[in-house]
A and B are shown apart, each in its own frame.
Chain A
Amino acid sequence: MNFVIPGKVKTLSFVLMAIGVIAMVWGFLQGDGEHGEHHQRWWSNMLVNGFYFVAISLGALFFYTLQYAAEVGWSAQFKRIFEAMFSYLPIGLVIVLVLLITGRLGMHHTWHWMDQSLYVEGGENYDKIIAGKGAYFSDAFFWLRTVIYVGLFIWFANWFRKKSLLEDKEGGTELHVKQFKRSAIFLVCFAVFSSTLAWDWLMSIDTHWFSTMYGWYVFSGMWVTCMIFATILTLWLRKRGHLPHINDSHVHDLTKWMFAISMLWAYLWFCQFMLIWYANIPEEVQYYTTRFFDGHGGLSPYLFPLVMMFFINFALPFYILIARDAKRNSNLIVGVGLLIFCAHFVDVYLLVIPGTIHMEQYHGIEFWEWGMFAGFFGLFLLVVMKALSKAPLIPTNHPFLEESEHHEI
Chain B
Amino acid sequence: MHKEAAIREPLILGHKTYNDITNDVVGPIEGPAPMGWKILISITGLISLYGIGCIMYLIGTGIGVWGLNKTVGWAWDITNFVWWVGIGHAGTLISAVLLLFRQKWRMAINRSAEAMTIFAVIMAAMFPGIHMGRIWVGYWVFPLPNQFGSLWVNFNSPLLWDVFAISTYFSVSLVFWYIGLIPDFATIRDRMIKPLPKKIYSILSFGWSGRAKNWTRFEEVSLVLAGIATPLVFSVHSIVSMDFATSVVPGWHTTIFPPYFVSGAVFSGFAMVLTLMLIMRKTMKLEAYVHVKHVEYMNIVIIVTGSIVGVAYLTELFMSWYSGVEYESYAFINRFSGPYAWSYWIMMTCNVISPQLMWFKKLRRSLTFTFVLTIFVNIGMWFERYVIIVTSIHRDYNPSSWGEFHATFIDIGVFVGTIGIFLTLFLLFARFFPVLALNELKTILKSSGESYKSDSEH
User: Is B315 an interface position by the 8 A CB rule?
Assistant: yes
User: Is A195 an interface position by the 8 A CB rule?
Assistant: yes
Which residues of the other chain, B, contact A32 by a CB distance below 8 angstroms?
A: none
For A173, the closest partner residue in chain B by CB is B7
B102, B245, B315, B322: the one within 8 Å of A275 (CB): B245
Alpha-carbon gap, A78 to B316, bound state (A): 38
Alpha-carbon gap, A224 to B8, bound state (A): 29
Q: Are B3 and A195 in contact (CB under 8 A)?
A: no
Alpha-carbon gap, A74 to B361, bound state (A): 25
Which residues of the other chain, B, contact A214 by a CB distance below 8 angstroms?
A: 255
Which residues of the other chain, A, contact B307 by a CB distance below 8 angstroms?
A: 188, 191
Q: A176-B7, A192-B311 are in contact. Are A136 and B322 (CB under 8 A)?
A: yes
For B248, the closest partner residue in chain A by CB is A279
Binds B, one of A2-10, A96-104, A149-157, A395-403: A395-403
Which residues of the other chain, A, contact B35 by a CB distance below 8 angstroms?
A: none
Taking the closest CB of chain B, its distance from the CB of A307, in whole angstroms, is: 20
Binds A, one of B195-203, B256-264, B384-392: B256-264
Name the interface residues of A256-282: CB closer than 8 Å to any CB of B. Answer: 263, 267-268, 271-272, 274-276, 278-279, 281
User: Is A121 an interface position by the 8 A CB rule?
Assistant: no
User: Is B4 an interface position by the 8 A CB rule?
Assistant: yes
Taking the closest CB of chain A, its distance from the CB of B261, in whole angstroms, is: 10
Q: Are A263 and B231 in contact (CB under 8 A)?
A: yes
User: Is A73 an interface position by the 8 A CB rule?
Assistant: yes
Q: A275-B253, A403-B3 are in contact. Are A268 and B259 (CB under 8 A)?
A: yes
Name the interface residues of B1-45: CB closer than 8 Å to any CB of A. Answer: 1-8
- Chain A 51-91 against B: per-residue CB contact (8 Å), 1 yes, 0 no? 00000000000000000000101000000000000000000
Tally of A interface residues using CB under 8 Å = 41
Q: Are A195 and B315 in contact (CB under 8 A)?
A: yes
Q: Are B246 and A191 in contact (CB under 8 A)?
A: no
User: Is B205 an interface position by the 8 A CB rule?
Assistant: no
Taking the closest CB of chain A, its distance from the CB of B179, in whole angstroms, is: 20
Which residues of the other chain, B, contact A173 by a CB distance below 8 angstroms?
A: 7
Alpha-carbon gap, A271 to B235, bound state (A): 11
Give chain B's interface residue range (CB within 8 Å of chain A): 35 or more
Alpha-carbon gap, A213 to B257, bound state (A): 8
For A208, the closest partner residue in chain B by CB is B324
DSSP majority for the B interface? Answer: loop
Q: Are B5 and A276 in contact (CB under 8 A)?
A: no
Q: A216-B259, A263-B231, A279-B248 are in contact. Are A403 and B315 (CB under 8 A)?
A: no
Alpha-carbon gap, A213 to B234, bound state (A): 15
For B7, the closest partner residue in chain A by CB is A399
User: Is A178 an interface position by the 8 A CB rule?
Assistant: no
Q: Are A406 and B316 in contact (CB under 8 A)?
A: no
- Chain B 240-277 against A: per-residue CB contact (8 Å), 1 yes, 0 no? 00100111100001111111000000000000000000
User: Is A132 an interface position by the 8 A CB rule?
Assistant: yes
Q: A191-B307, A212-B256, A279-B247 are in contact. Are A133 and B5 (CB under 8 A)?
A: no
Name the interface residues of B303-317: CB closer than 8 Å to any CB of A. Answer: 307-308, 311-312, 315-316
Q: Are A213 and B231 in contact (CB under 8 A)?
A: no
User: Is A210 an interface position by the 8 A CB rule?
Assistant: yes
User: Is B367 an interface position by the 8 A CB rule?
Assistant: no
Taking the closest CB of chain A, its distance from the CB of B100, in whole angstroms, is: 8
B1, B6, B324: the one within 8 Å of A129 (CB): B324
Q: Are A272 and B255 in contact (CB under 8 A)?
A: yes
Alpha-carbon gap, A173 to B6, bound state (A): 10
User: Is A301 an interface position by the 8 A CB rule?
Assistant: no
For A130, the closest partner residue in chain B by CB is B324
Taking the closest CB of chain B, its distance from the CB of A269, in whole angstroms, is: 11
Which residues of the other chain, B, contact A272 by a CB distance below 8 angstroms?
A: 255
Q: Are A279 and B253 in contact (CB under 8 A)?
A: yes
Which residues of the other chain, A, contact B6 by a CB distance below 8 angstroms?
A: 399
Q: Are A71 and B231 in contact (CB under 8 A)?
A: no
Q: Are B102 and A409 in contact (CB under 8 A)?
A: yes
User: Is B163 an interface position by the 8 A CB rule?
Assistant: no
Which residues of the other chain, A, contact B5 by a CB distance below 8 angstroms?
A: 73, 399-400, 402-403
For B238, the closest partner residue in chain A by CB is A271
User: Is B323 an interface position by the 8 A CB rule?
Assistant: yes
Q: Are B3 and A406 in contact (CB under 8 A)?
A: yes
User: Is A361 an interface position by the 8 A CB rule?
Assistant: no
Q: Are B247 and A210 in contact (CB under 8 A)?
A: no
Which residues of the other chain, B, contact A73 by a CB distance below 8 angstroms?
A: 5
Alpha-carbon gap, A213 to B262, bound state (A): 13
Which residues of the other chain, A, contact B231 by a CB distance below 8 angstroms?
A: 263
Taking the closest CB of chain B, its distance from the CB of A25, in whole angstroms, is: 39
Taking the closest CB of chain B, its distance from the CB of A142, in whole angstroms, is: 13
A132, A216, A403: the one within 8 Å of B256 (CB): A216
A136, A192, A208, A275: the one within 8 Å of B255 (CB): A275
Q: Are A271 and B319 in contact (CB under 8 A)?
A: no
Q: Are A276 and B255 in contact (CB under 8 A)?
A: yes
B253, B257, B315: the one within 8 Å of A281 (CB): B253
Q: Are A271 and B311 in contact (CB under 8 A)?
A: no
For A401, the closest partner residue in chain B by CB is B5
For A398, the closest partner residue in chain B by CB is B5
Q: Are B257 and A275 in contact (CB under 8 A)?
A: yes
Which residues of the other chain, A, contact B259 by a CB distance below 8 angstroms?
A: 213, 216, 267-268, 271
Alpha-carbon gap, A212 to B241, bound state (A): 14
Alpha-carbon gap, A132 to B319, bound state (A): 12
Q: Are A406 and B246 in contact (CB under 8 A)?
A: no
Q: Are A212 and B254 in contact (CB under 8 A)?
A: yes
Q: Are B4 and A278 in contact (CB under 8 A)?
A: no
Q: Are A408 and B253 in contact (CB under 8 A)?
A: no
Alpha-carbon gap, A6 to B234, bound state (A): 44
Q: Are A283 and B246 in contact (CB under 8 A)?
A: no
Taking the closest CB of chain B, its distance from the CB of A68, in whole angstroms, is: 12
Taking the closest CB of chain B, its distance from the CB of A285, in whole angstroms, is: 11
Q: Which residues of B contact A (CB under 8 A)?
A: 1-8, 102, 231, 234, 238, 242, 245-248, 253-259, 307-308, 311-312, 315-316, 319, 322-325
| New A-B contacts (10) at CB < 8 Å, excluding given A214-B255, A272-B255 | A173-B7, A191-B308, A210-B319, A212-B256, A212-B319, A216-B259, A271-B257, A271-B259, A400-B5, A403-B3
What are 9 A-B interface contacts by the 8 Å CB criterion? A132-B324, A173-B7, A208-B324, A212-B256, A271-B258, A275-B246, A276-B255, A403-B3, A403-B4
Give 3 nearest A-B pairs by CB, closest first: A212-B256, A213-B255, A271-B258
